Amino acid sequence: MESTSRNFNANVRAALANDALQSALGKIESGFVANRANAAPRLPEFDALRDQARDIKDHILDNLDFYLEAFEARVLESGGQVHWASSAADARAAILDICRSVDARTVTKGKSMIAEEIGLNDFLEENGIEPVETDLGEYIIQLRKEPPSHIIAPAIHLVKEQIEEAFRGAHEGMFDSGRSLEEPRALLEEARAVLRQRFLDADVGITGANFLIAATGSTVIVTNEGNGDLTQTLPKIHIVIASLEKVVPTLEDTSTLLRVLARSATGQEFTSYTTFSNGPRRNGDPDGPEQFHVVLLDNGRSEMLGGPVRDVLRCIRCGACMNHCPVYGAVGGHSYGWVYPGPIGAVLTPTLLGLDEGRHLPNASTFCGRCESVCPVRIPLLSLMRHHREQAFEDKLSPAAERTGLGVWAFFARHPALYRFATGLAMRALAWAGRKQGRFSTLPFAGGWTAHRDLPAPQGDTFQRQWSARGGRRR
């Protein structure tokens, strides 16, 4: 996927002016956020489970090669194949080879952020293979030719009317043009009807994976629509595409992670479908694919493992951090410009694409900390964003005026006597200028502030001067 992260400010302006988007975003608080808030206290040990989940993931990262090799061995034993892909291009090539081996025309796809990361759909299309998204949200945005705006709710930026419009356009001639699509249910039924044939026609089914279990060689997906099951059982070939850090030691660990995943993501105790896949169809199995492939994507992960943002590899892609992020809530996922939006994107995008491209994302945060307070695997998202800021500062990537301003301020802050003198003068002048109104609606050098709000004027002398004047206790 092509990134527009460097155009973050332009993306933001467009997002803030987009009324449909704003109305769609307004529903996150009453939906995902409220649901999680209700679900969390119903499980008294939820916070303890979060600690466990963090520890499980840390243990995995400490032993990643061991668990990956174990997983590979189990997959091979069950008759499947594993393809190691160090880059997005490698992963795309591996998938194309598999598709070509059966002259695939269409592939059905379950929801996968890794597929987005490697730009799979565009690539398949360029190579004459039609990808069909089967997750309802993904299906909608595929019709609209746009990327997902959320990692678990890809079409969350849309209102119902926009979906209806997309369906009427794409399904023209397939249904009665006078049909009612008022009810969300009607939209769902229509998508089902269209997709049913696509499921049957597909030569290959591609899904992501929430977990890869080292002990059993299973791949696990969670969905609420059951589309993933049809994607992976009906075609001749099932390809799983997942990044390295998705591996988990045992079924038991998986169940711990599943418990925090669903509650954090949607507030459900469990998602409607949790599907485990083990290898291809065996003799006597009633159904299942003839071939089972797992494409394991590195794409920068092994480098991250030894670096300062390692903790982000704990992420289980629940989406809670973006649901709770007030910046995400204001500007939506597309503003972030690349695959991963919200706080997790603010850490991942600069890591994977470089700070030149992604520097705005970790800066565009108030550090309110709401993301960290809900992250099921306790990723220190703020510290990781701050790490990117430090790197950007070191590399002099921020605007020169900003760095100069910070430098001047820091000089005074480091010289208290000078600071007291300078601020004493400045505040008296400002207080005098603002004495009647008590605030400024414009002020030189304060345009960023006064563009949208008044600046309260100082009360008068600084506290330090007044304290001295009153003979207060000093040291």
Binding partner of residue 318 among another protein, ligand SF4, none, CB cut-off 5 to 8 Å per kind: ligand SF4
Per-residue contact track with another protein, 122 to 151, x per CB under 8 A? ------------------------------
Taking alpha carbons only, the member of 270, 284, 289 closest to residue 229 is 289
Binding partner of residue 458 among ligand SF4, another protein, none, CB cut-off 5 to 8 Å per kind: another protein
What is the per-residue DSSP string for 165-201? HHHHHHTTTTS-TT----SHHHHHHHHHHHHHHHHHH
β-pairing verdict for 204-207 and 81-85: unpaired
> Which 17-56 positions form the footprint of another protein (CB under 8 A)?
29
Beta sheet of 204-207, edge-to-edge order: 81-85, 291-297, 237-243, 204-207, 106-109, 130-133
β-pairing verdict for 247-248 and 273-277: unpaired
Helix axes 342-353, 381-394, angle to 10 degrees: 40
Per-residue contact track with another protein, 368 to 387, x per CB under 8 A? xxx-xx---------x--x-
b/e burial code for range 192-229 (CB count within 10 A of at least 16 → b)? eebbeebbeebbbbbbbbbbbbbbbbbbbbbbbbebbb
* 12 touching another protein, by CB under 8 A: yes
Per CB under 8 A, the segment of 54-62, 238-246, 337-345, 365-373 that binds another protein is 365-373
C-alpha torsion sign, points 254, 278, 85, 140: negative
Look at the block and give the residue holding tokens 């043009």: 177
Per CB under 8 A, the segment of 44-52, 248-256, 275-283, 410-418 that binds another protein is 410-418
Q: Which two tokens stand for residue 106?
A: 């269409």
Specify the residue, 9 or 87, whose C-beta has the smaller distance to another protein. Answer: 9
Q: Which two tokens stand for residue 181?
A: 């699509």
Q: Smallest gap, in angstroms, from Cβ of residue 53 to ligand SF4?
A: 9
> Which 421-460 positions form the footprint of another protein (CB under 8 A)?
423, 426-427, 435-439, 441, 446, 448-449, 451-460
Binder among 223, 416, 421, 444 for another protein (CB under 8 A): 416
* 390 touching another protein, by CB under 8 A: yes
> Which 293-332 positions form the footprint of another protein (CB under 8 A)?
326-327, 330-331
Binding partner of residue 376 among another protein, ligand SF4, none, CB cut-off 5 to 8 Å per kind: ligand SF4
Distances (CA, A) of 141 to 134, 152, 214, 457: 11, 13, 34, 49
Binding partner of residue 321 among ligand SF4, another protein, none, CB cut-off 5 to 8 Å per kind: ligand SF4
Specify the residue, 320 or 353, whose C-beta has the smaller distance to ligand SF4. Answer: 320
Query: How many residues form the binding site for another protein (CB under 8 A)?
Result: 71
Per CB under 8 A, the segment of 168-176, 281-289, 344-352, 403-411 that binds another protein is 403-411
* Measured CA angle at 308 (ends 302, 310), to 5 deg: 45
C-alpha torsion sign, points 408, 410, 414, 420: positive
Exposure on the CB side of residue 381, measured as CA atoms within 13 A: 31
Contact set with ligand SF4 (CB under 6 A): 264, 315-321, 344, 375-377, 379
* 475 touching another protein, by CB under 8 A: yes
Binding partner of residue 158 among another protein, ligand SF4, none, CB cut-off 5 to 8 Å per kind: none
Q: Which two tokens stand for residue 200?
A: 């049957």
Binding partner of residue 375 among ligand SF4, another protein, none, CB cut-off 5 to 8 Å per kind: ligand SF4
Specify the residue, 124 or 374, whose C-beta has the smaller distance to another protein. Answer: 374
Binder among 30, 283, 286, 414 for another protein (CB under 8 A): 414
Q: Smallest gap, in angstroms, from Cβ of residue 79 to ligand SF4?
A: 32
